[in-house]
Amino acid sequence: MVRVILLGAPGAGKGTQADAIEDKYGYKQISTGDLIRAEVSAKTEIGLKVKAIMEKGELVSDDIVIELLKNRLKQDDTVGGYIMDGFPRNRHQAEELSRMEADREVVIYLEVNEDVVIQRLLSRLTCSVCGAIFNLLSDTPKQAGKCDECGGTLIQRADDNEETIRNRIRVYKEQTQPVIDYYLEKGHEGSFHQIDASKPVDVIFAEIEGALR
Ligand code: AMP
């Protein structure tokens, strides 16, 4: 079973590339952000607890996220392989993930500068039904406000506003960037791939295909 780990700042393109990898290779995309958003919209006990934290752009506690992830991995659609999108977000989560079995682990770091991600996130639209991602500047939906894939309504995520975006980037620098060193120290050189994520989506995907070979 293959585990692909996508690292990179908010807006680096992890969700977009995870979608493309899932389509081509059949590995299942697992976004911890989506798992948490599902709890928030279902107003579960966990959802009510984490809503405000998420809206501020802070990290939800490790215990909660790890439990959501472990439950998700119990479903058998991940046995052929899965893609981690948004996890690990700190060193402790990375250590926890290493304890979960995988035959092969490929780490892909989507590297992009801060100005690019702020622009991307401010113009991002997400389908409220299937989670597909669009962008008002570079990847406009065919029909305004409607998802090309499922016809669902496109929304701006509650945390895609400038203040929260800046906080998410700060949190990323402080807590998530050290995860890159974790994988380098762990001896992941052979399966650690840094990709310039300011390039067009299909160019980045071609480089990911090279990394997955
Ligand atoms: P994302 O959809 O990956 O941008 O995540 C949206 C928000 O969900 C983040 O800003 C955090 O509040 C929360 N979140 C997602 N993944 C994690 C994680 N691995 N650890 C802690 N919080 C997370």
Q: Whose CA is nearest to atom 5 of ligand 1?
A: 33
Q: What is the per-residue pLDDT across 16-62, written as a single tens digit (0 to 9) for each?
A: 999 999 999 999 999 999 999 999 999 999 999 999 999 999 999 99
- Looking at the chain, the whole-number percentage of residues with pLDDT higher than 70 is 99
Q: Which residue has the tokens 């402080």?
A: 174
Residue 86 alpha carbon to ligand 1 centre in Å: 6
Query: What's the confidence (pLDDT) of residue 187?
Result: 76
Does CATH number 3.90.1150.10 belong to domain 2-27+80-113+170-212? no
- Looking at the chain, the whole-number percentage of residues with pLDDT higher than 90 is 97
Break the chain into its structural domains and give their ranges: 2-27+80-113+170-212
Q: Which residue has the tokens 């791939």?
A: 193
Q: What is the per-residue pLDDT across 125-150, written as a single tens digit (0 to 9) for each?
A: 999 999 999 999 989 999 999 999 99
Residues annotated catalytic, as ranges: 14, 89, 124, 157, 168
Residue 196 alpha carbon to ligand 1 centre in Å: 22
**Cα-based distances in Å from 64 to 43, 68, 82, 98:** 15, 6, 20, 18
